[in-house]
Amino acid sequence: MPEMKISFLGTGSGTSTNSAHTAIAYDCDDGTRLLVDTSSGNSVARNGSELGMPVESFNTVLLSHHHFDHMSGLIYVQQARSQARQDAPPLDVYLTRESLGWLIKLCDSNPTTVAADQEGAKNASGRQVMLWHVTEPGQEINLGPTTKASCFPADHIPGAVGWRVDTDGMGVVFSADTRFNPELVKASQGAELLIHEAFRTDADKELAAGRGHSTSGDAARSAAQSGVNELILTHLDTGFSREPQPLIDDAKNHFGGPISAVRDLQQVTLSRP
pLDDT tens for each residue of 264-273 = 999 999 987 7
Q: At what angle do helices 43-50 and 74-84 cross, to 10 degrees?
A: 60
Residue 238 pLDDT grade (very low, low, confident, very high; cuts 50, 70, 90): very high
Q: What are phi and psi of 163, to 5 degrees?
A: -130, 140
Q: Work out the pLDDT band at 87, boundaries 50, 70, 90.
A: confident
Note the pLDDT of residue 86: 82
In whole angstroms, how far apart are CA 24 and each of 7, 9, 117, 222?
A: 6, 6, 27, 20
| CATH class of the structural domain 3-271 | alpha beta
Please list the alpha-helical segments (H only) found in the chain.
43-50, 68-71, 74-84, 97-108, 182-187, 205-210, 216-226, 238-242, 245-252
Kindly give, in sequence order, each residue whose CB lies less than 8 Å from that of residue 29, ignoring residues fewer than 6 positions away: 2, 3, 4, 146, 167, 168, 170
Q: What are the boundaries of each domain within the chain?
A: 3-271
Asked whether the predicted pLDDT for residue 112 surpasses 80, the reply is: no
Sort strands 115-116 and 120-122 into parallel, antiparallel or unpaired. antiparallel
Q: What is the pTM of this model?
A: 0.97
Cα atoms in the 13 Å half-sphere on the side-chain side of 195: 28
Q: Over 90: is that where the pLDDT of 174 sits?
A: yes
